[in-house]
Amino acid sequence: MKKFYFLIWLFWSLRVVLCSVISAALISSIVTMVLYIKKGMPNLENEVFSALGEVFVFWFLISLNITVLFALFRSVKYIFNKCYGGYSFKLLSCPKEKTFIEYIGYGDLVKFWRKWFMLIIWLSAVFMIIDFILFDYYDIYILYGAILLSGYFSFIFIGNRCKQVRIVKC
């Protein structure tokens, strides 16, 4: 089971990080290009290039905070019905029935995602409190680390916390 939890967390965390970073880079690139065009497209000298870099970084950090939420929602769909280390998560159509949803859509995930997201929030809060006590230092990157670490433990707890999720052998 440890292998299952580690593999599902590994693929989930890679998906969350790549999806949020690529989306944030795309959004900040678009905003930077629009601002560059609105300013009359001056020649790319050192000052202009430096200013564009600062605008990109500014909008990247803002859009990263937004895209991580979308990445968390989108990534949950891909943890179901895939075999990781001999096991897989299955989503029940109804907790009283024992039928699994074969093709999971985003609409099927809303109830599960609310419970899972609240679990991530509480676990992240615990990790942030521990981090603040131990290191007395806080920034956004530590928060993302806490979210990723919380994801690992949430996969362990979610089988007991959510009645719609089952772990089955594959």
- What is the full DSSP assignment across 71-138? HHHHHHGGGBS--BTTEEEEEBSSSSS-PBPSS--GGGGHHHHHHHHHHHHHHHHHHHHHHHHHH---
Domain span at 139: 2-169
Q: How many domains does the chain have?
A: 1
Q: Give the Cα separation of 49 and 29 in Å (integer).
A: 13
Closest CA to 150 of 116, 115, 109: 116
Do the bridges between strand 87-91 and strand 165-169 make them parallel or antiparallel, or are there none, so unpaired?
A: antiparallel
Cβ proximity of 131 and 142 under 8 Å: yes
Give percent of the chain with pLDDT exceeding 70: 98
Residue 95 has pLDDT above 70, yes or no: no
Condensed to tens digits (0 to 9), the pLDDT of residues 16-68 reads 999 999 999 999 999 999 999 998 888 888 888 899 999 999 999 999 989 99
Torsion sign over Cα 151, 155, 160, 163: positive
Residue 2 has pLDDT above 90, yes or no: no
Q: What is the mean pLDDT of residues 137-161?
A: 86
Residue 162 has pLDDT above 70, yes or no: yes
Q: How far is CA 43 from the centre of its chain?
A: 38
pLDDT at residue number 143: 84
**pLDDT grade, residue 6 (50/70/90)?**
very high
**Can you give the pTM of this predicted structure?**
0.84
**pLDDT grade, residue 151 (50/70/90)?**
very high
Q: Please, what's the largest Cα pairwise distance for the chain?
A: 66
